[in-house]
Chain A
């Protein structure tokens, strides 16, 4: 079963625009993580937010977490063509991470 579900499933934007994707989950978590996957490659860790944190920034990335609504959002500001990838949220409970189905982002130059 998938714990996290991303929304939207796909997103197409122009270079320079912001991209926002959301993740909802069902059970209690220790942390929520976001990963990026380029086509045919492994996943790369972007950012981790702990259950007692509400917002975190890393470069052009901003992640929010609302544990009362069991949801998180990932914002990529000033997108670039190189941001074209699939983005996954993963929820952590103990040493086990469960992934959602991902959001496929296309940034058009």
Chain B
């Protein structure tokens, strides 16, 4: 079965510092990986995805993620954090069975302090 692990409930970083939000996955078949961000009382916004090709994927708002097949990881990164990046981040992998739904991690809360 497909699964996603986000080992950190919360990540704290100072504004201007680089940030990393960790994600590891387990999937049968080719990994289609996604990152979404959720602001309070809002739905999820798509940040970026890895389907194939370059291991470094660039997405919205300056975020990027690195696909590492050997470590089965897809960590989200940003070179310089902003206070406005504070939100809940979800990693997801596509389940290739049935409707090919997304399987989500438990989410990581990012808190960027001024």
Co-complex (A, B): no
Q: Which residues of A contact B (CB under 8 A)?
A: none
